């Protein structure tokens, strides 16, 4: 296997060299639940049962481990299955501090499922390390962070979070879905666990649901997650593991174009008379610009913007022809989302407004189409939205 560390090369060669039986350059889809044992207590090369381990899934798990620079990788049937497995590290009476703008599904599973088992959480502004430190009581066992957050792109100091976690002997967890290891590697700042919705950029084609976990070494986390994965069983299937490996190979070229398109669209929208505000970590005048630049390659490809009063969001979405109105993000096709009625609909309107998630806020996930098609589409929809 190649030991080259350029990430573009690792994306292609990092997880799997070739099939030793046939020389196949791609990992075969081992569509099997079980493996023949030649005699008692002698599983073939360690493979026993596919919930516990499967060679196609293992190739994927090795790929994400190498990409994030961790000790071990784990593949799950969805981002939420991956996140839930990580939350199962904790026990009744423990508390987790969570980014206040955390992904809605993460909030829901904490609020509606894990609290049933007395695992508590508290939403905090993870942009403010002092405020977090004030909240670290003896029952706090973890800090869970997204950076940037959705949809306002707030940035959290990864090294700062890791240092706090180290100081108090608690576990730091980062959802790296928005940036991917191509743009940001939280473990390199001392974070303990990275989770992904691989449904988004890693898969990249809006054709699968998957989740990944990567653990850093030193705290026995790999063995614990392996035990939880095998015990609770939310594993990714061999075919989806294969698709995800295939998606990850082109992550670099896709992200380059996603980011390039995002930067051009942000420039275009920032200068547009219909737009009052743009939230993008790659904008010099954005509050989190410097911090993000210190820990990520660039501002990523996700951004949000607000229409001025007098412009109608309904008409805007209705007029889009290239952008698709849809949940999700990170696919090759451009998607547009209305946080107030879609991803953040469960938050009461007054709290939403206070957070800045106004009814006129629009989130875009630029795909890899030609930039002129995307600008023309927005230009038309902005004109149509004038009411």
User: Phi, psi (5° rounding) for residue 143?
Assistant: -120, 130
- Do residues 369 and 322 lie in contact, with contact meaning Cβ atoms separated by under 8 Å? yes
Q: Work out whether 377 is an interface residue with ligand PLP (CB under 6 A).
A: no
Q: Work out whether 343 is an interface residue with ligand PLP (CB under 6 A).
A: no
* C-alpha angle 247-283-278 in degrees, rounded to nearest 5: 90
CA dihedral of residues 279, 285, 290, 291 (deg, nearest 10): -30
Q: Work out whether 105 is an interface residue with ligand PLP (CB under 6 A).
A: yes
Distance CA 387, CA 376 (A): 20
The minimum distance between CB 288 and ligand PLP, in angstroms, equals 16
Q: Work out whether 209 is an interface residue with ligand PLP (CB under 6 A).
A: yes
Which lies closer to ligand PLP via its Cβ, residue 28 or residue 105?
A: 105
Selected binder of ligand PLP within 56, 78, 147, 385 (CB under 6 A): 78
Tokens coding 339: 């946080």
- Do residues 110 and 63 lie in contact, with contact meaning Cβ atoms separated by under 8 Å? no
Q: With CB under 6 A, what is the number of residues at the site for ligand PLP?
A: 14
Closest alpha carbon to 305 in 273, 328, 330, 331: 273
Which lies closer to ligand PLP via its Cβ, residue 209 or residue 332?
A: 209
**Half-sphere CA count of 309, side-chain side, radius 13 A:** 0
Q: Kindly give the interhelix angle for 79-87 and 221-232, rounded to the nearest 10 degrees.
A: 120
Distance CA 173, CA 68 (A): 13
Give me the catalytic one of 175, 192, 240, 377. 175
Q: Work out whether 80 is an interface residue with ligand PLP (CB under 6 A).
A: yes
Q: Work out whether 107 is an interface residue with ligand PLP (CB under 6 A).
A: no
DSSP letter, residue 110: I
The minimum distance between CB 146 and ligand PLP, in angstroms, equals 6
Distance CA 330, CA 201 (A): 4
Q: Work out whether 211 is an interface residue with ligand PLP (CB under 6 A).
A: yes
Q: Work out whether 199 is an interface residue with ligand PLP (CB under 6 A).
A: yes
Distances (CA, A) of 242 to 17, 55, 263, 316, 344: 14, 10, 31, 38, 32
Kindly provide the b/e burial profile for residues 268-298, where b requires at least 16 CB atoms within 10 angstroms of the residue's own CB: bbeebebbebbbbbbbeebebbebbeebbeb
Q: Please confirm, yes or no, whether 200 is among the known catalytic residues.
A: yes
26 to 55, contacts with ligand PLP by CB under 6 A?
Answer: none
Which lies closer to ligand PLP via its Cβ, residue 215 or residue 343?
A: 343
Selected binder of ligand PLP within 54, 62, 197, 215 (CB under 6 A): 197
Q: Please confirm, yes or no, whether 352 is among the known catalytic residues.
A: no
Give me the catalytic one of 65, 141, 185, 200. 200
Q: Which stretch binds ligand PLP (CB under 6 A): 62-70, 78-86, 107-115, 266-274?
A: 78-86
Residue nearest to ligand PLP (CB): 79
The minimum distance between CB 258 and ligand PLP, in angstroms, equals 14
Q: Work out whether 177 is an interface residue with ligand PLP (CB under 6 A).
A: yes
- Do residues 254 and 183 lie in contact, with contact meaning Cβ atoms separated by under 8 Å? no
Q: Work out whether 200 is an interface residue with ligand PLP (CB under 6 A).
A: yes
The minimum distance between CB 175 and ligand PLP, in angstroms, equals 5
Selected binder of ligand PLP within 68, 94, 157, 175 (CB under 6 A): 175
143 to 172, contacts with ligand PLP by CB under 6 A?
Answer: 146
Other beta carbons within 10 angstroms of residue 220's beta carbon come to: 10
Q: Please confirm, yes or no, whether 51 is among the known catalytic residues.
A: yes
Closest alpha carbon to 258 in 227, 293, 300, 228: 300
The minimum distance between CB 253 and ligand PLP, in angstroms, equals 22
Tokens coding 125: 């502004």
Q: Please confirm, yes or no, whether 311 is among the known catalytic residues.
A: no
The minimum distance between CB 209 and ligand PLP, in angstroms, equals 5
237 to 296, contacts with ligand PLP by CB under 6 A?
Answer: none
Give me the catalytic one of 35, 51, 111, 386. 51
Rg for the chain (alpha carbons), in Å?
21
Which lies closer to ligand PLP via its Cβ, residue 324 or residue 373?
A: 324
Which lies closer to ligand PLP via its Cβ, residue 102 or residue 221?
A: 102
Active site residues: 51, 103, 175, 200
Residues that bind ligand PLP (CB under 6 A): 78-80, 103, 105-106, 146, 175, 177, 197, 199-200, 209, 211
């Amino acid at each position: 296997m190649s030991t080259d560390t350029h990430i573009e090369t690792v994306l292609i060669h990092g997880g799997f060299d070739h099939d030793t039986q046939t020389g196949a350059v791609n990992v075969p889809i081992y569509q099997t639940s079980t493996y023949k044992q030649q005699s008692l207590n002698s599983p073939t090369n360690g493979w026993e049962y596919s919930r516990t381990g499967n060679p196609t899934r293992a190739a994927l798990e090795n790929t994400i481990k190498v990409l994030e620079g961790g000790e071990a990788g784990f593949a799950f049937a969805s981002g939420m299955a991956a996140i839930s497995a990580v939350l199962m590290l904790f026990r009744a009476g423990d508390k987790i501090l969570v980014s206040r703008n955390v992904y809605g599904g993460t909030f829901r599973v904490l609020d509606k499922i894990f609290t049933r088992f007395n695992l508590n959480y508290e939403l905090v502004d993870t942009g403010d390390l002092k405020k977090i430190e004030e909240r670290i009581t003896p029952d706090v066992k973890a800090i869970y962070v997204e950076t940037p957050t959705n949809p306002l792109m707030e940035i959290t100091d990864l090294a700062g979070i890791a240092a706090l976690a180290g100081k108090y002997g608690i576990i730091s967890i980062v959802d790296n879905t928005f940036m991917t290891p191509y743009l940001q590697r939280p473990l390199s700042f001392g974070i303990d666990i990275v989770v992904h919705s691989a449904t988004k950029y890693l898969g990249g084609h809006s054709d699968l649901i998957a989740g990944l976990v990567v653990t850093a070494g030193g705290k026995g986390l790999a063995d614990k997650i392996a035990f939880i994965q095998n015990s609770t069983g939310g594993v990714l299937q061999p075919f989806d593991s294969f698709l995800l490996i295939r998606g990850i190979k082109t992550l670099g070229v896709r992200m380059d174009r996603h980011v390039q398109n995002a930067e051009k669209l942000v420039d275009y929208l920032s200068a547009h008379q219909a737009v009052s505000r743009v939230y993008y970590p790659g904008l010099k005048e954005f509050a989190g610009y410097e911090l993000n630049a210190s820990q990520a390659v660039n501002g990523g490809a996700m951004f949000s913007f607000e229409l001025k009063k007098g412009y109608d969001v309904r008409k805007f979405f209705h007029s889009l022809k290239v952008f698709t109105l849809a949940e999700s993000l990170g696919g090759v096709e451009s998607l547009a989302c209305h946080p107030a009625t879609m991803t953040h609909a469960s938050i009461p309107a007054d709290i939403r407004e206070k957070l800045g998630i106004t009814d006129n806020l629009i989130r875009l996930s630029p795909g890899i189409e030609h930039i002129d098609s995307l600008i023309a589409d927005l230009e038309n929809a902005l004109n149509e939205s004038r009411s």
